[in-house]
Chains A and B, each alone.
Chain A
Amino acid sequence: MSGDHLWCSKRAGLPTVTNSDDPPAFDDNNDRRSALVNSDKIHRPEPASGLSKLTASEAEKSISGNLCRCTGYRPIADVCKSFAADVDMEDLGLNSFWKKDAKLHKLPFYDPKQLKLVAGNTGTGYYKETEYYNRYIDLRFIPDLSTIRKTGSQIEIGATVSISELILALEEENNNDLILGVRSKVTILTGVKKEILTLEEFLEKPALDSRHVLLSVVIPSLKPTENGYSEHIKTKLLFETYRASPRPLGNALAYLNAAFLAEICNGDDGVVINRIRLAFGSFGVKHAIRASKVENYLVGKKLSVNLIYEAVKLLRAAISPENGTSHPAYRSSLAVSFLFDFLFPIVDVDGRLHTPPCDYPGTGSRLTNDDCERMTLLSSAKQLIESSHENYPVGEPVIKSGAAIQASGEAIYVDDIPSPLGCLHGAFIYSTKPLARVKNIKLKCENDVNSIVTFQDIPKGGDNIGIKTGFGPEPLFCNELTQCTGQAIAFVVAETQKDADVAADTAIVDYDVEGLEPPILTVEQAVEKSSFFEVPSFLYPSQVGEFSKGMAESDHQIYSVEIRLPSQYYFYMETQTTLAIPDEDNCMVVYSSIQAPEYAQGVIARCLNIPEHNVRVITRRVGGGFGGKAMKAMPVATACALAAYKLRRPVRTYVNRKTDMIMTAGRHPMKINYTVGFKSNGKITALHLDILINAGMSPDVSPIIPWHMVGSLKKYNFGAFTFDFKVCKTNHSSKSAMRAPGEVQASFIAEAVIEHVASRLSLDVGLVREMNFHSFDSLKLFYGNTAGEPSEYTLPIIWDKLMKSSNFEYRVEMINKFNKNNIWRKKGISRIPILQDVSLRPTPGKVSILNDGSVVVEVGGIELGQGLWTKVKQMTAYCLSAVQCDGVRGLLEKVRVLQADTLSMVQGGLTAGSTTSEASCEAVRLCCDVLVARLVSLKEKVKEQTGSVSWELLIRHANMHSVNLSASSFFVPESASMRYINYGAAVSEVEVNLLTGETKILQTDIIYDCGQSLNPAVDLGQIEGAFVQGIGFFMTEEYLTNADGLLVADSTWTYKIPTIDTIPKQLNVQILNSGHHKNRVLSSKASGEPPLLLAASVHCATRAAIKEARNQLFSWNGLDALDSFFQLDVPATMPVVKTLCGLDNVEFYLQSLLSRS
């Protein structure tokens, strides 16, 4: 990374960020200070005089907790900007490399326009480069900059020392000396002059220009007798660091960091603060600051509750993030929380030194630390699967097909296919305006661009089409008028992907909105203008009962309560990608990462005006789909095909993450209004919902969302259940199906209603859930034939089983106890059921046996990582083994599933809706039955001759007798049994930190009914993976847009999917084998989507914990009235949770203490 990037941040007024990779060099300083100040912790045994007790591993933890570790190269303070020297650059051979014996004084004049100074270059991760340098100077090998020098009284850290090196150095240092970062100094080189500044002076200075070099940071060691600190026995040094960020360990920008150092004196009449330093960073200011006003206020005073109260009031005013910073009030409240956490444990209410019972390890909060026991960072887990062996190898936990080559990196994804000769690369230019005329597109770097493809390049007779669904098409490119932000305007084609990306990124689009209506950006505006997509009547779900009658039966009513649910981005790891190769005779071969190759084939043919048999779409594997590569992969494939068609050269693209996030969009946001009537015992008698779905600019599959939603809403017996859906057409990017589309929202809405009812009646929410459970009769009434047989309604069994297996009652008791004993941490627990109905679709299959007895299989379904190929292989081996010759148990090894190819297997359809694996298996079963029938009589004949028949021998004979060894099928599910319901339940326990709003997921227990699982290992992976994706939706993934609807959370920096440290500390999953299901494929049930709904349990548990916090806040007079019900937004991020717990809960607590005394 280079200095100029760093300083750009300062000039541009971007908030400084601490734990980010490079940008936060300022806060680095801040953090470094915190990490380096190996100070005494107040609650540990007294060290020998003059020694600190912080151990190396704590230092490491402290650093890792505060900083991201993108690369081990990350320089500590690479703020270097220039090297003033008169050496010619060419002398040094700087064209590419830095000589290893380089000396600082030999560096050339630094011209930031020509070259870039780098140490780790990790800064480009945050500050994206749009220009590429041809010369880099690597600073890591300059001894002056890259060493750590320790002398008796100080440690000097060179500016390019990496964090990991520093950690190592500190480990060697161990705990000999107290290193006091707060008094550190910065050395700057200007010309030949060295200048030494204190850190504060340095931070106050304007950005360094290209004549200055930051050389090092010097941190003095502090021995209490040197540096003026008294060795008096009653004097203590306290030090603590704090950080609040969306991820405990993983890559995330902090909301606020703090480091505090205090010298206190325990006198006869109480604790007095001799000195104190309070530093804050990363909260939306240009650089870290000291809260001097607060410091001055505190110094020399006796610590008391009142003093702390006055100090936090001052502090709240002092911490004011700059305009435009997100969650400013939350960030200020964090500063208050941290200072409170630092000072409060020192005093008890009487103002005496307070000695807690145990030692607090690690850094960070004391008040909210775990009960003197370190919560292990690690997740532990228990998985229970019940295999059945009757259909061997179906039902076995067979290792996923392709796992080995994925682990070795040999598996080939679309972007791994070598480029054909003459291949070009494309990148999309998308609209940043919701509704505007595109007047002109100007490319900044025209020389690097081969061609620019727009709707005008569509061949005569072809359509401007990028997506087709049953509900209507979506254009490939906008015409003159863009319909939403993120809509494709053009496709830039260049020699390399980088050139194409830069050209697209730097293109300037001229918009004109004159005379245009304002865009429709909210569902309310859509209603006002009656801007809707029609839901075909056969897809409009049917209502149950009469609402007015149900309301008349009720004792209580809740009228018209609003819930808003946001979008969620797919975040597959492999972004959208395609390689299109023109072939002879007007044909096109397209390698696409897509869940629906057949659809892409149709769209490409329509766009290019060629017959579909000229378009071969090939999909081997997809690097994650989740619905995002069903419809949304089509325009990417079509744009490449169109460019290849126009230029008669191969064209490929690998869409960069930002463009992918903006163009692909995600789940449907919606606004819900509910009115509910219920009896005093909690039984709901009537529910009415008004739901406005924001579908965006084109229908995509949005008109089917109401159908999906109602399927999961009906999980409870609401008595009368009515609804009104509007699928709103707006000037947003078109939303598409994402894993459990509509269902996850619906399941959440049902729980929100239940929670509200329970809260209104002050009943246990679990009882209200049970009160509204379906009997089989009501299930039948709500779902009709989809309900299946009474024995298939396994939810009551699951519910009870989970109660026991999760030790629910005992834990509720423990949680109540915990909540009584803890002020700043509250726990919550929730158990929720889920129902999701799924539907099978027609699917083709083809099985062929080769001369040596090996088998190839083709199916309609695509391998997305969901284990479809593995299940298909197992099914093939099982079904062919019905021929009952020797060696059939080894058949699994002989089966290979081929990549999808739209000209080899037609009617492949769409891989979605959780049922494609079983449907593909059923199609294969039909093929195998035909083959077995052809082989059985031959086998008997051969057996008579030879006594025993091996598979290979049988196949040789079959070939000799000209038996047709290939069979194809088209599985069409029977309409009476094509739909069925999946059941599961989850218990989640969380702990909320009332000071920061952080939610820790302590434990989740899941039981899920897979029927007789085709492969329990694969299904387990689906259950856990879906559940964690659901956690993302409910807890962490904030889909933020600007006023025009343009996604601004458009990177890994701003959009936070769950990481290894956000998942439940303990995750126990049990797959229920519910036995025989006569209408299911070998009695199996789906697992792909329904478990995602279970993540609502985490949200409900969080709500329960917040409820405890609010009861407490009420007791401190922090709430005007105890409104027992509150809405907890989705996602329940830290600011959301903290806001509900009380942004000023610390002040109210202190006030309550003051009023008591």
Chain B
Amino acid sequence: MGSLKNEGELEESKDAILYVNGVRKVLSDGLAHLTLLEYLRDSGLTGTKLGCGEGGCGACTVMVSYFDQNSKKCVHQAINACLAPLYSVEGMHVITVEGLGNQKFGLHPVQESLASRHGSQCGFCTPGFIMSMYALLRSNKTPPTEEQIEESLAGNLCRCTGYRPILDAFQVFAKSNIYYTQMVLSRYKNLKTVNLFALQLANPVLVDPTRNC
């Protein structure tokens, strides 16, 4: 993890690499039976939850980022980690709810908005909703429409809230909410710096695949 090689050497490396929240991980052989969710939770990243194991509830939503060779573009996608074989995200950057923010370094605006607008009750679906919303924001160059927000959450189940407060919490990121969006985006930039900086202090990273995207 975090070995100091230069970029050229990295590409030559036969190791299977995965980035999780900015931290470089080397995947050993023989883990083909693992799903990404199992790998994450076994690594102590238990914010990503198992709710159904069949892609039907969204509690395990994480974001993956990679450079798509065909389109020559960086792609950010929300995926259900319970269905993704671990090796299928090899070479990609996985962002989990822990990678967005935390109590110590401050919550990400998406997290903070959901918490402060009473969008969590039992809290078990919460990380999944946050990651669906986060991936939508990352994959859109402009703020999403309200319809896009609702659609991006259609794969997430919540049994406690009845969804209204979750929608309300996320509507502040919609296009129609220009003032707030600007405020959020300015804060978002600062927070992102802090978080990445903190992560890098703990785990030196040479390549952040998302940085140039």
Q: A residues within 8 Å of B by Cβ?
A: 21, 64, 68-73, 95-97, 100, 118, 120-122, 124-126, 128, 132-136, 138, 140-141, 143, 146-148, 164-165, 168, 247, 249-251, 376-379, 381, 397, 399-400, 402-413, 415-416, 418, 498, 570-575, 621-626, 654, 656-657, 864-867, 1017-1018, 1020-1021, 1024-1029, 1051-1053, 1057-1061, 1063, 1067
Contacts and interface: CB of A to CB of B under 8 A. Distances in A.
Contact of A247 (B33, B85, B154): B154
10 contacts: A125-B55, A134-B32, A138-B85, A250-B154, A251-B55, A251-B155, A408-B102, A572-B159, A1060-B153, A1060-B156
Interface in B76-124: 77-80, 82-85, 87-88, 90-91, 96-98, 100-103, 107, 111-112, 114-116, 118-124
A413 B124 CA distance: 8
B87 A381 contact: no
A171 to B, nearest CB: 12
A952 to B, nearest CB: 24
Contact of B162 (A97, A125, A1025): A1025
B100 A622 contact: no
A1112 to B, nearest CB: 33
B178 interface: no
B164 A379 contact: yes
B2 interface: no
A654 B50 contact: yes
Contact of B87 (A138, A1024, A1025): A138
Contacts of A378: 146-147, 149-150, 167, 171
A951 B45 CA distance: 39
Given A97-B90, A404-B111, A865-B123, 10 more contacts: A73-B79, A95-B32, A147-B70, A251-B56, A399-B118, A407-B120, A657-B53, A1021-B118, A1027-B162, A1059-B154
B98 A1052 contact: no
A270 to B, nearest CB: 40
Interface in B158-178: 158-168, 171
Contacts of B98: 408-410
A96 B47 contact: no
Contact of B115 (A404, A574, A624): A404
Nearest to B59: A573
The winner among B27, B112, B164 for most chain A CB atoms within 10 A is B164
Given A381-B168, A1051-B54, A96 B123 contact: no
Interface stretch (B125-133, B182-190, B196-204): B125-133
A235 to B, nearest CB: 35
A168 B80 contact: no
B167 A411 contact: no
Contacts of A121: 83-85, 88
A892 to B, nearest CB: 16
Given A128-B54, A251-B55, A251-B56, A70 B163 contact: no
Interface in B12-38: 16, 27, 29-33, 38
Given A96-B29, A249-B154, A378-B147, A1063 B164 contact: yes
B69 to A, nearest CB: 7
B42 to A, nearest CB: 9
B54 A657 contact: yes
A407 B83 contact: no
The winner among A247, A411, A626, A1067 for most chain B CB atoms within 10 A is A411
A623 B48 contact: no
A433 to B, nearest CB: 25
A1043 to B, nearest CB: 25
A73 B84 contact: yes
Given A251-B56, A381-B164, A409-B127, A573 B121 contact: no
Nearest to B111: A407
Contacts of A865: 120-123, 160
Nearest to A571: B159
The winner among A251, A626, A1053 for most chain B CB atoms within 10 A is A251
Interface residues of B, number: 86
A71 B77 CA distance: 8
A597 to B, nearest CB: 17
A122 B100 CA distance: 25
Contact of B122 (A573, A1026, A1057): A573
Q: Specify the main secondary structure of chain A where it touches its partner.
A: loop
A141 B69 contact: yes
B85 A118 contact: yes
Nearest to B82: A125
Given A120-B83, A572-B159, A408 B56 contact: no
A1024 B161 contact: yes
B137 interface: no
A1061 B153 CA distance: 9
Given A136-B88, A573-B59, A865-B121, A409 B46 contact: yes
B51 A136 contact: no
Contact of B118 (A400, A410, A573, A657): A400
A751 to B, nearest CB: 21
A623 B83 CA distance: 22
A1026 B161 CA distance: 8
A865 B16 CA distance: 40
B121 A867 contact: yes
Given A120-B83, A1027-B162, A96 B16 contact: yes
Contact of A1021 (B75, B116, B157, B165): B165
B47 A410 contact: yes
Contacts of B156: 1060
Contacts of B130: 407
A356 B50 CA distance: 50
A1026 B77 CA distance: 32
B44 interface: yes
B49 A574 contact: yes
Contact of B147 (A377, A412, A1021): A377
Contacts of B146: 376-378
10 smallest beta-carbon distances between A and B, as pairs: A409-B47, A1052-B56, A865-B122, A406-B123, A1028-B162, A125-B55, A72-B77, A623-B124, A865-B121, A409-B97
Contacts of A168: 71
B151 interface: yes
B80 A1059 contact: no
Contacts of A68: 155
Nearest to B158: A573
B118 A407 contact: no
B88 A138 contact: yes
B50 A408 contact: no
Contacts of A1027: 162
A573 B48 contact: no
B57 interface: yes
Nearest to A1053: B56
Given A71-B79, A1025-B161, A1061-B154, A399 B116 contact: yes
